[in-house]
Amino acid sequence: MDDRFTYARFWRCALQVNPFSYHGAYRGTDHQLDEANYNQAVLQKCLELDIKVVGIADHGSVAAVDALRQALTPHGIVVFPGFEIAASDKTHFVCLFPEDTSVQSLERYLGNLELLDPQERILPSQLSSIKLIDKIEQMGGFIYAAHCTHDSGLLKNRLSHVWKHPTLRAAQIPFSVEHLAGEESDFYRRVLLGRDDAYRRDKPIAVINAKDVAKPEDLEKPNATCLIKMTRPTFAAFRVAFLDPESRIRLNSTEASSPIGRLISVSVAGGYLDGVQVNFSDHLNTVIGGRGTGKSTLLECVRFALDCKPKGKQAQKLHSDIIKENLGLEGGRVELTLVSSSQNGRQYTVSRRYGEPPVVRDEHGTVSTMTPSDVMPGIDIYGQNEIYELAQDESSRIQLLERFLPEEGDYNFKRADALRRLKANQQNISEALGDIDDLATQVNRLPNLEEQLRGFDDMGVKEKLAKNSLLAREREIVKSAKVSIGNVQTAVPTFSEHFSELSFISDEVIEGVPDIDALISMRDTLEKLTADCAVHLQAMQTLADAAVKAFNTQHDAWEQQIKQHDAELEKELRALPDAAGRTGQAIGAAYQRVQEEIERIKPLNAKLPTHQTQLEELEQERRNTLAELSELRAERIGALVKAAKKMSKRLQGKLKIEIVPDADRSPIVQFLLACKLENIGEKRLGWIGAAASITPMALVKSIREGAGAIYLDWGTPQMVADALAKLQPSQIMELEALELAHRVDISLNVTHGDAEPAFRPLSKLSTGQQCTAILHMLLLDNPDPLLMDQPEDNLDNAFIAERIVAELRGAKTSRQFLFATHNANIPVFGDAEWIGVFTAEEKRGSLTLESQGSIDVPAIRDQVAKILEGGRAAFIQRKEKYEF
């Protein structure tokens, strides 16, 4: 066994190649080649077209088989020798035999088929089609209906009983099934699609292309070959392929492409799996073996290399324990080779040693800046029972749905931006409210201060200190002037911070761009702007410096004058008469303080409308942002609902998925509890959960309208309504910005077979049914692989066979899977391309090359039967008891 034959793949097969003499004998023309050159020409075409299997089938003759076989076999082309023959009803068949069948054996087979005249190759056998089919089966050969839609073809001859014969497993058609649309009143297409009752088979027939190859050039035609999936091209594997044609037989016109994101190989050095090397199939891979042989360890090693954190707490612990136990004791290392869908099909190698982070290398071996999550962001890996943990977690189910949303949606970015602006707006409004409150408090003092001032007037103080009010006003004016020039002095130097640094448009950066002249012009404009602004900025700085210097001189002069005025006032104060038990000087000082307070507050009165206008602008800004956020949420809900409907449609008859917007009210409850409202506990907030629908914005609207509106809108107890009405503006704004999570309601059809669907919600399902529901979702489209450890855990076999494996067979053509399993349905009914049979040897897990392959490899088939079915005897005994 070598590593080229460790998993099943499609091999190109030409199943009706004629020897050199056929063209002249049956087509009446000469291909101008002798036998040796003809055989060499066929060989060259096979090598050129990557044809790996050739069926040699001359009409009623095997004389030229060996010469062509000897030309092809040394070059790795497998030859199935045989012949074409007609039954007594003149229906043509091609019969092929194992690669080691001798010409003498073939002649003996022909002799047993009751040919009317062995020397006349055109004349038919005396055997009917049914007997001919059975006879070839008894000989260990393989028979298919040749050119069944043409003259002497099985369908053309309308032999429905032959068509339905279970041993007939393949029929040759000229091109694809759809090419037959309309022919014979669409008869051929209906039969091939199983829509004609008279021709309906218990098992579908394999449809192949195997055009009569009369000359080497015929091999180039698309209908000369077909694709057959085998681990190693052998006759035994060839026969097995026709037992599952849906999975293993393809026409060139329906060739399945490989998924882009896929694991190519994994190798382990050190630890329990030391020396294990796997080359994965692009499609379905399964790991089997007894308990403790290393199945789970292989999957967890892949997860470890890719640094994929398990989603559940139990799964995290199990992963950590497995890696520590199986890699940590010897400092083991895991290396993965993969193809990245996110990086447009580029190949990477990811390696990781225990205790170290992963290292990503590109196809040239250069260490990349990429992380494993960059090169394979969508990979799904689930350990034992991790699916069950996922089923219990609401946020995880939402995340599972989100991956089916359109990629162009930038909801998260827009939402985060809106919330950031909303938070900043809340702070600005709070500050504005505080400023208005401060201003109002100050302005509201004016009547009291003015009344105090009139009291001084009665004492005759006003006339003696008349200049004091003017000086108080003067001081306030100078204070504002000093602030104004200080603002200019601070602002001018900061202007240079806004000059662009032009390295982004340097010669090196723009070299080679198609519109370089336009970019150079733009750069010239930016450079001139910067230079001109720098000149003006210098002039502005000079002006500002000169102004500050002049202002300081003027301010110093003013302060000298103020000192003189203060000295004069001091004299006046000392001259004031005593009154009401206070000295005249004390009365004058009190008058002076009142007068200065009045002069300080009077200008504030003019600022109040400006602050009020600013508050109104902030409130409008908040309304706009809230509306924007509401629209974003509506778009998001719409996208989720659309995705849920799309998934439900794709899983029709299996799963229903519905979105319940704003279903999680707990953020409202927790917020109000945190506000510590008087006499309000969790029980008195029960109305929030009982409301038919509620959103933070709707609740805030009622709160702003007062306790009466709260009581009427939400039916709260009066005590609660009164408490909510007392919330502070900052608390109301915080409540208003809360976001409620949506709920994903998943319902599973719990009936089997053709029974009428009965959908039951996830919360009312058994553990196994919950896992089945999640598995349905996980098997949907994803460009990256799905790895699961024992997905059959908690599932019954009927669900595995009817639902999971049936979906898996279709999904594996466009996505790679790797399952560790104890359930035979997955590798056998799922037709796994790669089956790895783990064993334990000398306290280490072992996976030799001979233990890797598909079900068409006898050694693998026997191991699958032994490990998953209990062996041949046990399987047969169960079959007999079931009376199948």
| CA pair distance 813, 816, nearest whole angstrom | 8
Quote the strand ranges of 526-667, DSSP E.
Answer: 655-660
Write the CB contacts of 183 (distance below 8 Å, at least 6 apart in sequence). Answer: 149, 189
Summary count for the chain: helices (H), strands (E): 32, 24
| CA pair distance 284, 835, nearest whole angstrom | 9
Question: 8-254, superfamily in CATH?
Answer: Metal-dependent hydrolases (3.20.20.140)
Is the pLDDT higher at 797 or at 144?
A: 144
| CA pair distance 439, 605, nearest whole angstrom | 8
Edge-to-edge, what's the strand order for the sheet holding 206-208?
A: 206-208, 170-172, 142-145, 92-96, 78-86, 51-59, 9-17, 226-230, 249-251
| CA pair distance 57, 36, nearest whole angstrom | 18
| CA pair distance 640, 637, nearest whole angstrom | 5
The helix (H) or strand (E) run that includes residue 10 is strand 9-17
Q: What percent of the chain has pLDDT over 70?
A: 93
- 3-state secondary structure at position 462: helix
> Mean pLDDT over residues 64-77, rounded?
95
Tell me, what's the pLDDT at 387? 83
Say if residues 612 and 436 touch (Cβ distance below 8 Å).
Answer: yes
Tell me, what's the pLDDT at 28? 43
SS3 content of the chain, % helix, strand, coil (to 5): 55, 15, 30
| CA pair distance 386, 791, nearest whole angstrom | 9
pLDDT tens-digit series, residues 336-360: 999 999 999 999 999 999 999 999 9
b vs e for 129-151, b when ≥16 Cβ sit within 10 Å of the residue's Cβ? Answer: bbebbbbbeebebbbbbbbbbee
Tell me, what's the pLDDT at 30? 60
**Token pair recorded at residue 843:** 């306290």
pLDDT tens-digit series, residues 676-702: 998 889 999 999 999 988 999 999 999
> Mean pLDDT over residues 97-118, rounded?
89
Give the CB-side neighbour count of residue 735, counting CA atoms within 13 A: 28
pLDDT band for 776, please (50, 70, 90 cuts): confident
Q: Are strands 206-208 and 170-172 parallel, antiparallel or unpaired?
A: parallel
Is the pLDDT higher at 122 or at 375?
A: 375
The pTM of this model reads 0.76
Say if residues 318 and 288 touch (Cβ distance below 8 Å).
Answer: no
| CA pair distance 476, 601, nearest whole angstrom | 10
Torsion from C-alpha of 508, 509, 510, 514, nearest 10 degrees: 120
| CA pair distance 758, 835, nearest whole angstrom | 36
| CA pair distance 725, 718, nearest whole angstrom | 11
Tell me, what's the pLDDT at 450? 75
pLDDT tens-digit series, residues 557-578: 998 988 888 787 777 666 667 6
**Token pair recorded at residue 738:** 């809360």
Instruction: Note every long-range contact of 356-363, with CB atoms under 8 Å and residues 24 or more positions apart, other chains counting.
Output: 357/307, 358/305, 358/306, 358/307
Q: Among 588-602, 615-629, 695-709, 760-774, which stretch is predicted with the lowest mean pLDDT? A: 588-602
Say if residues 827 and 288 touch (Cβ distance below 8 Å).
Answer: yes
- For the ranges 86-100, 379-393, 516-530, the maximum mean pLDDT occurs at 86-100
- 3-state secondary structure at position 228: strand
686 burial via Cβ count (<10 Å: 0-12, 13-18, 19+)? exposed
| CA pair distance 140, 44, nearest whole angstrom | 30
- Return the domain boundaries, the chain: 8-254, 262-403+787-811+818-882, 412-627
Give the CB-side neighbour count of residue 396, counting CA atoms within 13 A: 17
Say if residues 45 and 220 touch (Cβ distance below 8 Å).
Answer: yes
pLDDT tens-digit series, residues 415-453: 888 989 999 988 998 888 888 888 888 888 888 877 777
Is the pLDDT higher at 87 or at 642?
A: 87
Tell me, what's the pLDDT at 13? 97
| CA pair distance 564, 90, nearest whole angstrom | 136
Domain range 262-403+787-811+818-882, CATH class: alpha beta
Torsion from C-alpha of 807, 808, 812, 813, nearest 10 degrees: -30
| CA pair distance 302, 336, nearest whole angstrom | 7
Tell me, what's the pLDDT at 269? 95
Say if residues 502 and 524 touch (Cβ distance below 8 Å).
Answer: no
pLDDT band for 261, please (50, 70, 90 cuts): very high
**Token pair recorded at residue 56:** 């040699």
Tell me, what's the pLDDT at 20? 82
25, 91, 376, 623 from 131: Cα distances, Å: 28, 12, 55, 85
Say if residues 160 and 115 touch (Cβ distance below 8 Å).
Answer: no
> Mean pLDDT over residues 23-50, rounded?
80
Tell me, what's the pLDDT at 578? 67
In the predicted structure, residue 401 carries a pLDDT above the cut 90: no
Q: What percent of the chain has pLDDT over 90?
A: 52
pLDDT tens-digit series, residues 166-206: 999 999 999 999 999 999 999 999 999 999 999 999 999 99
Quote the strand ranges of 674-752, DSSP E.
Answer: 743-749
pLDDT tens-digit series, residues 626-658: 999 999 888 888 888 888 888 888 888 888 888
Instruction: Note every long-range contact of 426-430, with CB atoms under 8 Å and residues 24 or more positions apart, other chains counting.
Output: 426/622, 426/730, 426/733, 426/734, 426/737, 428/618, 429/615, 429/618, 429/619, 429/622, 429/729, 429/733, 430/729, 430/730, 430/733
Give which of 190, 185, 183 is closest to 163, Cα–Cα: 190
pLDDT tens-digit series, residues 833-849: 999 999 998 889 999 99
Tell me, what's the pLDDT at 762? 82
In the predicted structure, residue 406 carries a pLDDT above the cut 60: no
Mean pLDDT, all residues of the chain: 88
Strand partners, 359: 351
| CA pair distance 433, 492, nearest whole angstrom | 31
Tell me, what's the pLDDT at 460? 60
b vs e for 858-882, b when ≥16 Cβ sit within 10 Å of the residue's Cβ? Answer: eebbebbbbbbbeeeeeeeeeeeee
How many other β-carbons are positioned within 10 Å of the β-carbon of residue 108?
Answer: 11
Backbone angles phi, psi at 341, to 5 degrees: -75, -35
Tell me, what's the pLDDT at 4? 80
- 3-state secondary structure at position 846: strand
